[in-house]
Amino acid sequence: MEIRAYHPTDCEQIAQLFYETVHTINAKDYTQEQLDAWATGTVDMVLWNQSFLIHDTLVAVQDDKIIGFGDMDQTGYFDRLYVHKDYQRQGIATLLCNQLERRYQGRYISTHASITAKPFFEHRGYLVIAKQQVERLGILLVNYRMEKQK
């Protein structure tokens, strides 16, 4: 497995990974209606590509297949972190987090973690600042605003 910087040609594969991961891994914590609102199956590729290019974005690749990705903005906000549904619990998210956290020079790192991801971030030393409900397509989803001091 290789961890490398994001390339614009990765965007379509990342969008598919995002959809499949949300609809399988997060299904234990969210209803089908919530999953459908969270990951509709269509993303604005131009906007996603732009955000990945602006952020510090890393992808994990194995056998020319993207098996994970993560991105952090300039303020230390961990925007997205997803690992392919078939590659869970192999340390991929940890490797991505380690590199992104190490590269960020600020004092605090924050994220909005799903119910599913909350234990992962807690294990990494992130503290829950607030439980919140976010609206996607008129559907409410629970997530957690979390922060870690470097």
Residue 75, burial from CB neighbour count under 10 angstroms (0-12, 13-18, 19+): exposed
Share of the chain above pLDDT 90, in %: 96
Note whether 38 and 131 are within 8 A (CB).
no
Confidence of residue 123 (pLDDT cuts 50, 70, 90): very high
User: Which CATH code, of 3.40.50.2300, 3.40.630.30, 2.40.128.20, 3.30.70.80, is assigned to 2-106?
Assistant: 3.40.630.30
Q: What does the mean pLDDT of the chain come to?
A: 96
Q: What pTM, to 2 d.p., does this model score?
A: 0.94
DSSP labels, 46-74: HHHHHHHHHSEEEEEEETTEEEEEEEE-T
Sorted by where each begins, the domain ranges of the chain are 2-106
Q: pLDDT per residue over 63-112, tens digit each?
A: 999 999 999 999 999 999 999 999 999 999 999 999 999 999 889 999 99
**135 pLDDT tier (thresholds 50, 70, 90):** very high
CA angle 16, 21, 23 (to 5 degrees): 100
- Distance between CA 113 and CA 140 in Å, rounded? 15
